[in-house]
Amino acid sequence: MSAAATNQSLGRLEIGVSRTPDGDVLTLKGQLDDQATLSELLDQIGTHVIIDLGGIRFINSVGVREWIVFLGALVERGTRVVLRRCSEPMVHQMNMVVEAGAGAQVESFFAPFVCSGCGSEQSVAIQVALIKDQLLARTVPPQPCPDCGDSMRFDDFPNRYLLFLE
Amino acid sequence: MRPILIVHGDKKTQRQVHRILGGTFCPIELCDTVAQAEARLRDSNPFLLVCDHQQMITEHGRTVLARHGVPCLVLMHDPEPDDLSGILGVESLSYLLANPMPLLAEEMSVTVHKLMRRDIFGLEKYLAWGLEMREHTVTDCAQRPEIVDQVAAAVQDAGFGPRVAAAASLIADELLSNALYNAPVDDAGHHFRGDEPRHGPRALDAREQVTLRYACDARFLAIEVTDRYGSLDRKTILRCLAKSTGRTAEKVSMGTRGAGIGLATVYGTCNHLVFNLEPGVRSQVIALVDVRFRPAELSNAVCSFGVFAI
pTM score > 0.80 for this model?
Answer: yes
Closest CA of chain A from B73, distance in Å:
25
Is the CB of A122 inside 8 Å of chain B's CB atoms? no
Domain at A19, CATH number: 3.30.750.24
Respond yes or no on whether ipTM tops 0.90: yes
Chain B residues in contact with A123 by the CB 8 A cut-off are 162
Residue B56 has pLDDT above 60, yes or no: yes
Contact (CB<8Å) A89/B199:
no
The per-residue pLDDT for B230 is 97
Average confidence score pLDDT of chain B: 90
Residue B81 has pLDDT above 70, yes or no: no
The per-residue pLDDT for A2 is 53
Contact (CB<8Å) B268/A96:
yes
pLDDT class of B65 with cuts at 50, 70, 90: confident
pLDDT digits (tens, 9 = 90+) for B87-139: 776 666 788 888 665 557 888 999 999 999 999 999 999 999 988 999 999 99
Domain range spanning residue A122? 3-165
Q: Can you tell me the mean pLDDT for B248-259?
A: 82
Residue-level pLDDT, tens digit, chain A, 166 residues? 455 577 899 999 999 999 999 899 999 999 999 999 999 999 999 999 999 999 999 999 999 999 999 999 999 999 999 999 999 999 999 999 999 999 999 999 999 999 999 999 999 999 999 999 999 999 999 999 999 999 999 999 898 899 999 8
pLDDT digits (tens, 9 = 90+) for B13-53: 899 999 999 989 999 999 999 999 998 998 999 999 999 98
Domains for chain B: give ranges and CATH numbers. Answer: 4-117 (3.40.50.2300), 123-309 (3.30.565.10)
Interface mutation vs chain B, best among A96, A124, A162, most B CBs within 10 Å: A96
Give the residue on A whose Cα is nearest the Cα of B258.
A62
The per-residue pLDDT for A73 is 97
Determine the Cα–Cα distance for residues B272 and A112; give it in Å rounded to an integer. Answer: 21
Residue B175 has pLDDT above 60, yes or no: yes
**Higher-confidence position of B83 and B292:** B292
The per-residue pLDDT for B102 is 56
Q: Can you tell me the mean pLDDT for B162-188?
A: 96
Q: Using beta carbons and an 8 Å cutoff, which residues of B are at the interface with A?
A: 80-81, 145, 161-163, 166, 169-170, 173-174, 177, 197-199, 243-244, 247-254, 257-262, 264-265, 268-269, 294-296, 301
pLDDT class of B253 with cuts at 50, 70, 90: confident
Q: Give me the percent of chain B exceeding a pLDDT of 70.
A: 94
The per-residue pLDDT for A127 is 97
